[in-house]
Amino acid sequence: MISIVGIVIVFGAVIGGFLMEKGQLAVLIQPAEVVTIVGAALGTLLAANPIHVIKGLIGGLTGILKGSPYNKQRYLETLKMMFDLFTKARKEGLVAIEGDIEGADKSPIFKAHPKFLKDHHVKDFVCDTMRMAITGGVLPFDVDQMMELDMEVHHQTSGMPTAALSTVADALPGLGIVAAVLGIVITMGALGGPPEEIGHKVAAALVGTFLGILLCYGVLGPLASAMTKINEEEHAYYSILRVVMLAFIKGTSPILAVELARRAIPAHIRPSFQEVEKACRAKAAAPTAIAA
C-alpha cells in the first residue's frame, strides 16, 4: 500500500508544480496520447511474454496493494508450525508425521496454519523435503542440494513478471517519443492555420513525451522495484524453511533448529527469543489464536 501512496505523491508533486507555474491542467488531458502510449506498452507486454508471466505480473501488482505477507507474525506462525511437526517426529518417530506430510490439508498441525496451506508452493516445498527425510537413506547434504535447486527455480520463475514490468517501463520513454513524433506530424499538417491551433497540437505532442517519462520513472519503475523487494522477502522466507528443516534432518533438537532459523530472519522483522519460545511452548490450540 505504501507504494501506491508514493505514486500518488509523485503525481501530486508533478501536477502541483505545474499548477504553481500557472499551467493549464486541461492541456495535460490528451486522450489520444494516452491511448497511443498505454496501448503500445500493453501490446509490447503481450508480445514479449507468455500467458503465465502475464498472470504472475497481475498477481504481483495485486500483492503490492496487499503488502508483503512476510512479517514477524508470519515467521512466528511458521516457526511454531515447524516446532510442532519436529516435536511430534522426535517423540513418535519420523513415520508418525508421514500422515501429516502426505495429507497436509487434513493434518491437525498444518490445518492450524491456513496461510501455509493456502500457499501451495511453500506447502510443497516443506512436504516434499520432509518426505525425502522420512524415506531414509538420503544424506542431509543431498536434501540441502534439492532444496537449493527448488529455491533457485522458484526464485527465477517469480522474477519473470518483475523483469517483464521493468522492460515495459524502460520502453515507455521511447513510446512517449513515438507519440510526440506523431503529434509533430499532425502539427506539420496544420501549418498555416491559427497560431492557437498549432500551439495546442505542439503541446499535445509534448505531453506524449511527458507521459512516457512520468509513467516510466514515476509509476512502473517503482512498482517493478516494489515487486523485486517482495520477491526477495519471499526468497528469505524460503531460506528460513531451508535452515530449520536441514537442521532437524541433521539431528538437531526441534527448539535448537527453530532458534537457528530465527537468527536467519531479517533483522527488521526478527522475533525475539522470548517471543519464539512463548509461541513454541504454547498448547496445540494456540496456533489458531496466533493466526488470528
DSSP string, 157-194: HHHHHHHHHHHHHHHHHHHHHHHHHHHHHHHHHTTTS-
Length of the chain: 292
Contact status, residue 271 vs residue 74, Cβ threshold 8 Å: no
Q: Distances from the Cα of 19 to the Cαs of 10, 216, 275, 287, in angstroms?
A: 14, 22, 52, 54
Q: Which whole-number Å values give the CA distances from 257 to 82, 183, 249, 289, in the listed order?
A: 9, 64, 9, 23
Q: Tell me how many degrees the CA angle 87-93-96 measures, rounded to the nearest 5.
A: 85
Closest by CA to 72, choosing from 269, 260, 258, is 269
The residues spanned by each domain of the chain are 2-291
Rounded mean pLDDT, 178-190: 85
Residue with more model confidence, 194 or 14: 14
Nearest to 213 by CA among 241, 245, 176: 176
pLDDT tens, residue by residue, 229-253: 999 999 999 999 999 999 999 999 9
Angle at 281 between CA 275 and CA 282, to 5 degrees: 90
Type of residue at 234: E
* 251-262 pLDDT, tens digit each: 999 999 999 999
Residue at grid coordinates 537442521: 247
Query: What mean pLDDT comes out for the span 148-158?
Result: 93
pLDDT, tens only, 10-26: 999 999 998 998 888 88
pLDDT digits (tens, 9 = 90+) for 78-123: 999 999 999 999 999 888 999 999 999 999 999 999 999 999 999 9
Region of 246 please: left (phi>0), alpha (psi -120 to 50) or beta: alpha
Which cell is 106 given? 487434513
Environment class of 242 (CB within 10 Å of its CB; exposed 0-12, middle 13-18, buried 19+):
buried
Residues 279, 254 contacting (CB under 8 angstroms) = no
pLDDT surpassing 80 at residue 184: yes
Q: What pLDDT does 49 receive? A: 93
Confidence category of residue 288, pLDDT binned at 50, 70, 90: very low
CA atoms within a 13 Å half-sphere pointing along the CA-CB vector of 168: 26
pLDDT at 286: 40
pLDDT at 142 over 50: yes
Enter the C-alpha cell of residue 79.
516457526
Residue carrying the nine cell digits 530449520 = 244
Provide the pLDDT for residue 291: 38
Q: What pLDDT does residue 285 have?
A: 40
For residue 107, the SS3 value is: coil
Encode pLDDT of 40-74 as tens digits. 999 999 999 999 999 999 999 888 888 889 999 99
Q: Distance between CA 97 and CA 67 in Å, rounded?
A: 33
Dihedral-angle region of residue 136 (phi above 0 means left; psi in -120 to 50 means alpha; beta otherwise): left
Answer whether 247's CB lies under 8 Å from 256's CB: yes
